[in-house]
Amino acid sequence: MSSFFRKAILAAGLSFAATTASAQENVMVVFDGSNSMWGQIEGVAKIEIARDVMDTLLGDWTENREVGLMAYGHRRRGDCGDIETLVQPGAATRDSILEQVKGITPTGKTPLTDAVERAATELAYTDRPATVVLISDGLESCERDPCELARALEQGGVGFTAHVVGFGLGADQDDTSLSCIAEETGGTYIQASNAEELKSAMSSVSTAVAESTPEPEPEPALPDVTVTGPGTAVGGSIIEVTWEPTAAQGDFLTVVPAGTASGDYGPTQGVNEDMTVAFTLPADQGMYEIRYIHDDSDTVLGTDALEITKPEVVLTGPDMVLIGEDFTIGWSPTINPGDVVTIVPVGADTGNYEGYVTVRDRSEGSLNAPADPGMYELRYILKVDNRTVATRPIEVTEPEVTLSVPDTALAGSKFTVGWTGTVNRQDYITVVPAGTAEGEFGNYFVVRDKTENDLQAAAETGLYEVRYVLREGNKTLASAPIEITAPEVTVTAPETATTGSKFPVSWTGAVNGNDYVTIVPAGTAEGEFGNYIVVRDKTEHTLQAPAETGMYEVRYVLREGNKTLATTPIEITPPTVTVTAPETATTGSKFPVSWTGTVNGNDYVTIVPTGTAEGEFGNYIVVRDRTENQLQAPADTGMYEVRYVLREGGKTLASTPIEVTTPEVTVDAPDTAQTGERFLVSWTGTVDAGDYINIVPAGTEEGEFGNYVTVRDDTEKELQAPAETGMYEVRYVLREGGRTLASDMMEIVAPEVSVTAPEMALAGSAIRVSWTGTVAAGDYIAIVPAGAEDGEFGNYFTVRDDTEKDLRAPSSPGLYEIRYILREGSKTLATRPIEITEPEVTVSGPSEVRATDTLKVSWTGAVDPGDYVALAPMGSGDDDFSNYFTIRQNTEKDMTAPETPGMYELRYILREGGRVLARQPIEVLDADAALNSGAELTAPDTASAGSTIEVGWSVDATSADQRITIAAADQAIFTWIEAVKITGEPPVSLTLPDEPGSYELRFLDVSNQAVLARKVITVE
């Protein structure tokens, strides 16, 4: 890349950077449009005064800032959300802002905190410096703390500043909440009482905003960069280069000849987070430099010398190959995975090649020999500049290929071809007319690894050639003549058949299993076909007659070339079909139909309005092998036709008229029912078992439905009332067409339900809840945070046929509600407040324990028998309970200490929510550590089995019965193998067991049932 172009890009980048810097100085003016702006000062409305002095605020600084306008309280009364951006921050917006201010009509409240927050957000205050200018005549009226917001904006923003002008505040108004916005963000607060003071305040704020442009930071000094390359490398190879540090993200590295002028570049790579790049080197040998270039200044910050050596490669391969043959070649070494090895005629121009293999990470590959014999050479060519760095001669010779084919074959048939001397498994064998030009082909197959295969003869008779063709260059290596002769085929069919029926056909002399027999109108052009069957390995089959009468031909057609080999005439005649149905049927009902003269089992009987166009159909049944069935009447009354329709062509063969009339249906429901309850509905005059009874609000449009039941063969059923009260209709609706046949009005009223629970309960405990006025067994009782929206639920149970039950309290303390919720619509019918309080739970155990020892754990204030106690590593997650037990009805229990020493924690964990209610630290010591608690034992660590040892001790306190014992390591504390009661001064003698193993010496205070010291001893 030239120095000129790089500097052009650098200039463009600096221009963009300047634009970005100015964009960072955005300002939003927040204007008070609340109703109080109609207040007057010296007979003039505050809104008018503010409009007149706005131009004072918008000084020259607006020319190089993006400035916007936001107003609040200017559209709706009593709406704390009435905040609107009237002018989006942008360049040259001064006139637009002044124009918009003229149109502000004071109307509503003063949500100034929300407005300042929204302005900061629109200015992207977390990403770049932002300034808000607030003009307000009143204090916050929407229950937010502006001081708290100001602190948050200051902490979270990038150079956020707010200037505040308080205008016309009352003498009794504390303006602290306005002034703190400016104080917390480093802005200016000015209070103005009249027009002159407001103009002065606007001028002061304008000056403050104009002076807020930050001074540009000095450009940091560019670092020295250490560049590391391999020192030497082969021309055209790939090398890795590293550097330290990265000066800037746009920087890059390049490889150039030593002494190249600054600003000139060879291959380049941009810097990255890994601080490693790969270069493909030039092929020319010599001394080079790897340079690190600073993108913005085009300065070289670091270099490393690199010597590029001459690439040398050795090629291996056969001395001679057959034309088109695949052969193996080798090379060593690989210079670049993108290099190629190719075969070209001797003396071919550099860079010219066709067949080639890319070396990648291999040392050998395969090439396909050219189609023309002669002298060639293998070449190893560098990817970097197509330079040949190694060659090897190779001769390409003619192969000897033979073909074996029959003298004749029937047109379209398959005949066997044999061959010898396969050159390439992708070569192919084809059959073409004698004398066909080289490169053209007819039917063919690929030779692959076979020596014979079947080839399909052409459809036309005559003299042909079977050719073995080399895939490489499509050169014919061998050929053999063959004569294609006409086959003798016959086809037989009946003289007549009825439209749409299936009739038998037979044939002789089948040529190919894929040939087909078809029926077409007499005289149809060759190659066209109607209904057909494939002959496969059969000699007879059935063929479907067309829907139209007339003279036809049955043809045997050769799949190869679609040539007709035999024909026979057939006449298609109309069938005699009748259809019978009753004169009338009620809408939606099923009525009997019968028919005679079935043509095809797939024909169908349908009912359509009288005069319906041919091919259209309504409800229908397929005739199959029957002569009668049930057909469903439409939902609309009127004159209809029942038609017998031929599946082939959709042609009507017979029809009979029928009138569809209105059925007499009634439905009866109670006058009232409670929301969500099940009530009894009865009906008469069922039309169809699939019809349904539906309840919907009075006046609901036809076709809509709410809760419903299907009538089936019943005359009464229970229907579920909706969750909302009001006037409803119970409707009998025809399944066919969704038409209402009868309805009855009823009123859904609110049920009287109550729910009772204690005022307080512990977190996670079981709460006894009772209720009255159950509406439906599927309703449920739930506990949710106070004020939760309808439809939300936490822990719950279904009421079924009970009147009281236990409900699980949530794990977090707070104010909650217990609700009786209607299953239908999830509507709350009754509530009861309850406070969930924090349980007072303790968990206790020893402060120290040896690894794998048994420790006794106790607890108080148990909440639920399903809670559990866990022993987990200190600092592990509260969900770590690999070592735990369930407390059930106990207050203490033994558990085994972990095998790994360290600091652990006993935890009492609430089953509900898995919350830890109590903790106690415990240290797990090594398995052989001494445990001292008021005494200390002195004895050898090891001794012989059966020997006598002396044991010394020191103890803090005495008691009536103190003993030194020896016990097995896992033996209960107050049991032993041998014990000595202490009556004098130390030491005492103890005889060790005869069985080798690990034992424990214990200092026991039997009187107080305490273990004062423990020491492990190994008996050998």
Pair 165, 192: CB distance under 8 Å: yes
Burial class (CB in 10 A: 0-12, 13-18, 19+), 887: buried
Q: What share of the chain is helix, strand, coil (3-state, %, to 5)?
A: 10, 45, 45
All residues at 6 or more sequence positions from 68 whose CB lies less than 8 Å from its CB, including other chains: 26, 27, 28, 29, 85, 87, 88, 89, 90, 93, 97, 119, 122, 123
Average pLDDT over residues 524-551: 92
Pair 310, 285: CB distance under 8 Å: yes
Residue 217 belongs to a domain? no
> 772: closest CA among 796, 800, 752?
752
How far is the C-alpha of 47 from the C-alpha of 76, rounded, in Å?
17
Are residue 147 and residue 70 in the same domain, yes or no?
A: yes
Is the confidence at residue 337, as pLDDT, over 50?
A: yes
Q: Widest CA span of the chain, in angstroms?
A: 135
Is the confidence at residue 217, as pLDDT, over 80?
A: no
One DSSP character per residue, 509-531 reads S---TT-EEEEEETTPPTT---S
Are residue 34 and residue 146 in the same domain, yes or no?
A: yes
Q: What is the CATH number of the domain that holds 643?
A: 2.60.40.10
Residue 703 belongs to a domain? yes
Burial class (CB in 10 A: 0-12, 13-18, 19+), 925: middle
Q: How many domains does the chain have?
A: 9
How far is the C-alpha of 938 from the C-alpha of 683, rounded, in Å?
98
540-544: strand order across its sheet: 490-492, 502-508, 540-544
Is the confidence at residue 534, as pLDDT, over 50?
A: yes
Are residue 97 and residue 154 in the same domain, yes or no?
A: yes
Pair 545, 519: CB distance under 8 Å: yes
One DSSP character per residue, 408-441 reads EEETT-EEEEEEE----TT-EEEEEETTPPTT--
Are residue 73 and residue 152 in the same domain, yes or no?
A: yes
How far is the C-alpha of 814 from the C-alpha of 833, rounded, in Å?
11
Q: What is the pLDDT of residue 125?
A: 85
Are residue 101 and residue 170 in the same domain, yes or no?
A: yes
> 397: closest CA among 377, 421, 373?
373
Q: Tell whether the torsion through CA atoms of 348, 350, 354 and 360 is positive or negative.
A: positive
Q: What is the pLDDT of residues 458-496, one digit of tens each?
A: 988 999 999 999 988 888 999 999 999 989 999 999 999
Residue 173 belongs to a domain? yes
Q: What is the CATH number of the domain that holds 808?
A: 2.60.40.1930
Are residue 365 and residue 429 in the same domain, yes or no?
A: no
Average pLDDT, whole number, for the chain?
89
Strands 796-798 and 760-762: unpaired
Residue count (the chain): 1020
Are residue 642 and residue 673 in the same domain, yes or no?
A: no
The last residue of a domain, from among 550, 573, 596: 573
Average pLDDT over residues 109-138: 89
Residue 999 belongs to a domain? no
Are residue 601 and residue 638 in the same domain, yes or no?
A: yes
How far is the C-alpha of 979 from the C-alpha of 963, rounded, in Å?
6
Q: What is the pLDDT of residues 145-167, one digit of tens each?
A: 989 998 998 888 888 899 999 88
Confidence at 9, pLDDT banded by 50, 70, 90: very low
The last residue of a domain, from among 397, 426, 459: 397
Residue 622 belongs to a domain? yes
Are residue 655 and residue 672 in the same domain, yes or no?
A: no
Helix (H, G, I), strand (E, B) or coil at 992: coil
Q: What is the pLDDT of residue 212?
A: 66
Pair 394, 343: CB distance under 8 Å: yes
Residue with more model confidence, 561 or 731? 731
Average pLDDT over residues 597-616: 92
All residues at 6 or more sequence positions from 989 whose CB lies less than 8 Å from its CB, including other chains: 948, 949, 950, 951, 980
Residue 563 belongs to a domain? yes
User: What is the model's pTM?
Assistant: 0.37
Residue 992 belongs to a domain? no
Average pLDDT over residues 708-719: 94
Residue with more model confidence, 224 or 221? 224
ω into residue 592 within 30 of 0, thus cis?
no
Q: Which domain range does residue 149 map to?
A: 26-212
Paired tokens of 139: 């204090």
Q: How many CB atoms lie within 10 A of CB 956?
A: 10
Are residue 425 and residue 529 in the same domain, yes or no?
A: no
Are residue 198 and residue 98 in the same domain, yes or no?
A: yes
Average pLDDT over residues 555-581: 92
The last residue of a domain, from among 573, 592, 610: 573
Residue 349 belongs to a domain? yes
Average pLDDT over residues 752-777: 92
Q: How many CB atoms lie within 10 A of CB 230?
A: 14
Average pLDDT over residues 333-347: 93
Q: What is the pLDDT of residue 6?
A: 36
Are residue 637 and residue 712 in the same domain, yes or no?
A: no
